[in-house]
């Protein structure tokens, strides 16, 4: 039955593609008409190759046993991936690194007062789910890179444990000094929670998954539905990746065997306090034992209890001890040499390691990456000759701290700075809408790719489906207008949280992060239930979105590899950075208004008059009002950027006239070299204040958001942290960076014009 449906879909897709081919092929950016015609032929051949049956089989194979760093099956998978690449005739090899990877030795969470309770810290077997019973090989539930510790103290509930939550606790007269905080997952990257807790004097940190966020409040729990069961736990790294990701002992250099290593005590990225994740089954008795003020309405989860803040009388004991071992990680690297520009590289990656089985994260997307490689191998045999070198990477150690990609990028930093055109990343894949984030110089390009891929459920271009979703979700007339009329939908900026981080943030390689999702909700993230049973019952059950993913990313790689003129666009980039600058001005104004209003209300006696004398309330102290900052260096640079983007746009349009005769005739090497350089120019060697590893001046993960992006981070974070002098300095620095970028774009435009 399944087979029949797939055959019908396959035939229908063939029809759609041939119908598209019969019309006049729309021009491809960066291609002469003749080259575009050939490219589209190769792309159509490629898109017919990825197969849902193969994706299912790869997924079953890679998720059959736990395969975290250091496990037998992690190495086994890497060798199997290598053997598949070789079987297809590709030039592949494994590159190893030696990294610090702590695994749990002792874990305990107990309620010691007023009653006794010991947390299970164990995810049970589910009868219908065959892999869930392999407890001997499963990595226990823990947060990697938590400090060791054995602490006892009163418990305090801190909501999501982000800085604003502590501000609220202060108003309510609740201190976490000497306490163990219990925080729920969500609202920030998990590593921020123990970091902020420690800054406020807490002794330990528990992180639990509240049913309101991904459990029964959202829907039926596993195995009846996709959501988190009572004992399901989210493992995860709490390495302070906003300082630097990768091996904690070799920041900035590849963790090769003989690399110079820091002593354990010199590493900067461990938590300051012991931290452990727990299930809502284990959290409920702890939270139920708290008294003290009732939690603010928006802090309450979906457990059948009254949420209170504490401290006490609940007293908890938390013990965490790890084996601090060095483990070998296995990156699988494939190289397809370019026929015309072998020294220009298109790099594509996905990780293969998982916390446990990872059928969704990462195997669903790793399988798609393999089908892309199989497709390319087939095309090469048919005579396809990509102009540029294509490098395919299956990373190890992503989950612990982007280890495999960061160490590889650091080990090959000089070559990558010279040769890398772009890096394309995926991490997991599901059912639903196409999403893309990344460098805005590639916004137009990826919109173009999305127009040429068919959505498996709706049989319309995935671009159109995404556009209509934006229209449906728009919250203002302006947003609706933009969704209807802007030729390209906007892509988001990248923070951190996957393997693109070293490429974009550290090396300045233009990057994209791609995937499908939105109809595949669940609560199995980083638990033993993210496995083949769950994926084939609740996510992309027939692997047609896996096929769409392989078609999308493979097409993007081919189109970058074969273009005569690289398809970078600077008008959307300039437009986006303008928006970021406007956001900064609004941010400053809001800060000023809020502080003045607060100070005024303090003077007027608002807080003392409205505080309930029977409840604790600590009025806020007066606040310094932000001074006016000098936006001129930024504004001037933005003007230059806009003009140079328009200049390049004109030259680009001209180069495509007359069937792109210039593109077919001229040597574009020097122009392309400048385009490749364009993302590099957005970095500065000294990096961001306090975290020199992060060199990109337009995008970075936030110091207090983790995965969440901060745009123009040097300035934005200085304003947020009220460092006014630093904000002005950073403004000048970013202005210089953007002036340099504008000059480069201008020279690329002039160079192109010379050839016309
Ligand atoms: Zn992942």
Contact of 507 with 417, CB cutoff 8 Å: yes
Q: What is the pLDDT of residue 26?
A: 56
pLDDT per position as a tens digit, 471-513 = 999 999 999 999 999 999 999 999 888 999 999 999 999 999 9
Give yes or no for residue 17 having a pLDDT over 50: no
Residues with Cβ–ion distance below 5 A, ligand 1: 361-362, 427
CA 318 to chain CA mean position, Å: 31
**Adjacent-strand bridge partners of 324:** 102
Question: Which of the 8 DSSP states describes residue 681?
Answer: T
Cα 260 to middle of ligand 1, angstroms: 28
Cα 369 to middle of ligand 1, angstroms: 14
Cα 528 to middle of ligand 1, angstroms: 14
Cα 499 to middle of ligand 1, angstroms: 9
**Encoded tokens for 141:** 């539930």
pTM > 0.75: yes or no: yes
Question: What are the φ and ψ backbone dihedral angles of 117, each rounded to 5 degrees?
Answer: -155, 135
Cα 362 to middle of ligand 1, angstroms: 5
Cα 68 to middle of ligand 1, angstroms: 12
Alpha-carbon distances, residue 119 vs 107, 152, 206, 376 (angstroms) = 10, 15, 12, 50
pLDDT per position as a tens digit, 276-327 = 999 999 999 999 999 999 999 999 999 999 999 999 899 999 999 999 999 9
**Encoded tokens for 681:** 């120019």
The angle subtended at Cα 204 by Cα 102 and Cα 707, nearest 5°, is 65
The angle subtended at Cα 171 by Cα 166 and Cα 176, nearest 5°, is 45
Cα 349 to middle of ligand 1, angstroms: 11
Give the C-alpha separation, 472 to 316, whole Å: 47
Pairing relationship of beta strands 143-144 and 236-237 according to DSSP bridges: parallel
**Encoded tokens for 264:** 């354990």
User: Which stretches within 486-631 are classed as H helix?
Assistant: 501, 532-538, 544-562, 571-604, 606-610
Cα 24 to middle of ligand 1, angstroms: 40
**Encoded tokens for 623:** 């606040």
Cα 428 to middle of ligand 1, angstroms: 6
Type and span of the H or E element at 345 = strand 341-351
Cα 664 to middle of ligand 1, angstroms: 41
Question: Which of the 8 DSSP states describes residue 356?
Answer: S
Cα 398 to middle of ligand 1, angstroms: 7
3-state secondary structure of 182: strand
3-state secondary structure of 459: coil
Pairing relationship of beta strands 149-157 and 315-336 according to DSSP bridges: antiparallel
Give the C-alpha separation, 485 to 470, whole Å: 12
Residue whose pair of structure tokens reads 């137009």 in the numeric block:
444
Give the C-alpha separation, 135 to 122, whole Å: 9
**Encoded tokens for 727:** 């904000």
Give the C-alpha separation, 3 to 131, whole Å: 26
Cα 188 to middle of ligand 1, angstroms: 17
Give yes or no for residue 586 having a pLDDT over 50: yes
pLDDT per position as a tens digit, 189-205 = 999 999 999 999 999 99
Task: Give residue 722's region: left, alpha or beta (phi > 0; psi -120 to 50).
Answer: left
CA 138 to chain CA mean position, Å: 25
Cα 186 to middle of ligand 1, angstroms: 17
**Half-sphere exposure of residue 732: CA atoms within 13 angstroms, side-chain side:** 6
3-state secondary structure of 454: strand
**Encoded tokens for 305:** 């209890």
**Encoded tokens for 335:** 């190289």
Give yes or no for residue 421 having a pLDDT over 50: yes
Give the C-alpha separation, 645 to 569, whole Å: 8
Q: What is the mean pLDDT of residues 572-577?
A: 97
Cα 722 to middle of ligand 1, angstroms: 35
Q: What is the pLDDT of residue 19?
A: 38
Question: Which of the 8 DSSP states describes residue 264?
Answer: G
Give the C-alpha separation, 520 to 541, whole Å: 10
Contact of 457 with 381, CB cutoff 8 Å: no
**Encoded tokens for 571:** 């008008």
pLDDT band at 21 (very low <50, low <70, confident <90, very high): very low
3-state secondary structure of 421: strand
Cα 399 to middle of ligand 1, angstroms: 6
Torsion of CA 15, 17, 23, 24, to 10 degrees: -170
Cα 13 to middle of ligand 1, angstroms: 30
Core vs surface per residue 10-41: b (16+ CB within 10 A) or e:
eeebeeebeeeeeeeeeebbbbbbebbeebbe
Cα 426 to middle of ligand 1, angstroms: 8
User: Which stretches within 455-520 are classed as H helix?
Assistant: 462-473, 477-485, 501
Asked, as a colleague might, if the bond just before 285 is cis with ω within 30 of 0, I would say no
pLDDT band at 332 (very low <50, low <70, confident <90, very high): very high
**Adjacent-strand bridge partners of 688:** 691
Alpha-carbon distances, residue 676 vs 345, 669, 693, 745 (angstroms) = 10, 10, 21, 11
**Encoded tokens for 652:** 């680009």
Cα 649 to middle of ligand 1, angstroms: 37
Q: What is the pLDDT of residue 15?
A: 39
Cα-Cα end-to-end distance for the chain: 57
Give yes or no for residue 575 having a pLDDT over 60: yes
Cα 351 to middle of ligand 1, angstroms: 7
Give yes or no for residue 18 having a pLDDT over 50: no
**Half-sphere exposure of residue 469: CA atoms within 13 angstroms, side-chain side:** 17
Give the C-alpha separation, 63 to 534, whole Å: 11
| Polymer length in residues for the chain | 756
Percent of the chain's residues with pLDDT above 70: 96
Type and span of the H or E element at 78 = helix 72-87
Give the C-alpha separation, 447 to 494, whole Å: 17
Cα 623 to middle of ligand 1, angstroms: 42
Cα 354 to middle of ligand 1, angstroms: 7
Cα 141 to middle of ligand 1, angstroms: 17
Give yes or no for residue 1 having a pLDDT over 80: no
Cα 130 to middle of ligand 1, angstroms: 22
Give yes or no for residue 16 having a pLDDT over 50: no
Give yes or no for residue 8 having a pLDDT over 70: no
Give the C-alpha separation, 167 to 140, whole Å: 34
3-state secondary structure of 404: helix
């Amino acid at each position: 039955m399944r087979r029949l449906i797939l055959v019908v879909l396959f035939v229908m897709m063939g029809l759609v593609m041939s119908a598209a081919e019969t019309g006049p092929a729309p021009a491809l950016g960066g291609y002469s008409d003749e080259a575009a015609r050939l490219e589209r032929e190769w792309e159509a051949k490629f898109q017919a190759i990825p197969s849902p049956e193969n994706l299912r089989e790869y997924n079953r194979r890679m998720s059959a046993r736990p395969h975290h760093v250091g496990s037998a099956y992690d190495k086994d998978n890497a060798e199997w991936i290598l053997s598949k690449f070789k079987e297809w005739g590709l030039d592949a090899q494994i590159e190893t690194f030696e990294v610090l990877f702590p695994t749990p030795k002792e874990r305990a969470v107990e309620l010691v007062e007023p009653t006794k309770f010991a947390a299970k810290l164990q995810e049970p077997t589910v009868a219908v789910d065959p892999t869930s019973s392999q407890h001997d090989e499963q990595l226990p539930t823990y947060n990697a890179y938590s400090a060791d510790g054995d602490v006892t103290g009163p418990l305090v509930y801190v909501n999501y444990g982000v800085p604003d939550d502590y501000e609220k606790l202060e108003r309510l007269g609740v201190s976490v000094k000497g306490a163990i905080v219990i925080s729920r997952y969500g609202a920030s990257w998990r590593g921020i929670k123990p970091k902020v807790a420690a800054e406020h004097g807490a002794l330990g940190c528990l992180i639990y998954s509240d049913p309101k966020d991904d459990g029964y409040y959202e829907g039926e729990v596993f195995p009846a539905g996709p959501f988190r069961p009572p004992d399901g736990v989210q493992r995860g790294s709490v390495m302070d990746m906003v300082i630097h990701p990768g091996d904690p002992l070799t920041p900035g250099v590849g963790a090769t065997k003989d690399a110079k290593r820091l002593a354990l005590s010199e590493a900067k990225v461990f938590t300051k306090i012991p931290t452990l994740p727990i299930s809502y089954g284990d959290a409920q008795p702890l939270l139920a034992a708290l008294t003290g003020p009732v939690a603010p309405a928006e802090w309450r989860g979906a457990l059948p209890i009254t949420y209170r803040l504490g401290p006490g009388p609940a007293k908890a004991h938390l013990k965490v001890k790890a084996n601090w071992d060095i483990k070998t990680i296995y990156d699988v690297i494939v190289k397809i040499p370019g026929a015309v520009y072998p020294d220009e590289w298109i790099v594509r990656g996905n990780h293969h390691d998982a916390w446990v089985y990872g059928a969704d994260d990462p195997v669903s997307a790793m399988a798609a990456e393999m089908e892309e490689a199989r497709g390319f191998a087939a095309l090469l045999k048919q005579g396809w000759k990509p102009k540029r070198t294509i490098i395919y990477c299956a990373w190890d150690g992503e989950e612990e701290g982007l280890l495999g990609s960061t160490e590889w990028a650091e080990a090959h930093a000089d070559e990558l700075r010279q040769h890398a055109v772009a890096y394309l990343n995926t991490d997991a894949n599901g059912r639903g809408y196409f999403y893309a984030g990344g460098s805005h110089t590639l916004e137009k390009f990826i919109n173009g790719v999305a127009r040429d891929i068919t959505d498996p459920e709706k049989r319309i271009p995935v671009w159109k489906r995404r556009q209509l979703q934006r229209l449906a979700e728009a919250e203002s007339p302006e947003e609706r207008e933009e969704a209807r009329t802007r030729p390209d939908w906007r892509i988001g900026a990248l923070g951190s949280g996957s393997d693109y981080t070293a490429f974009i943030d550290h090396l300045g390689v233009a990057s994209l992060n791609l995937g499908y999702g939105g109809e595949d909700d669940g609560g199995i993230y980083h638990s033993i239930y993210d496995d083949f049973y769950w994926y084939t019952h609740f996510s992309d059950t027939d692997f047609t979105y896996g096929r769409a993913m392989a078609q999308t990313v493979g097409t993007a790689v081919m189109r970058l590899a074969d273009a005569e003129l690289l398809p970078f666009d600077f008008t959307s980039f300039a437009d986006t950075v303008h928006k970021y600058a406007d956001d900064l001005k609004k941010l400053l104004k809001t800060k000023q208004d809020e502080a003045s209003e607060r100070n005024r209300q303090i003077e007027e006696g608002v807080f003392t008059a409205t505080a309930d004398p029977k409840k604790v309330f600590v009025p806020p102290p007066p606040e310094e009002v932000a001074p006016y900052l000098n936006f001129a260096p930024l504004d001037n640079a933005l003007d230059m950027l806009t003009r140079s983007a328009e200049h390049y746009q004109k030259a680009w349009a001209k180069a495509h006239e007359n069937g792109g005769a210039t593109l077919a005739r001229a040597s574009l090497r020097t122009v392309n070299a400048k385009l490749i350089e364009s993302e590099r120019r957005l970095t500065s060697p000294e990096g961001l204040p306090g975290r020199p590893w992060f060199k990109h001046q337009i995008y970075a993960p936030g110091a207090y958001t983790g995965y969440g992006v901060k745009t123009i981070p040097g300035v934005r974070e200085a304003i947020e942290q009220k460092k006014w002098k630093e904000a002005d300095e950073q403004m000048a620095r970013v202005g210089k960076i953007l002036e340099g970028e504008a000059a480069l774009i201008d020279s690329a435009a002039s160079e192109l014009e010379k050839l016309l």
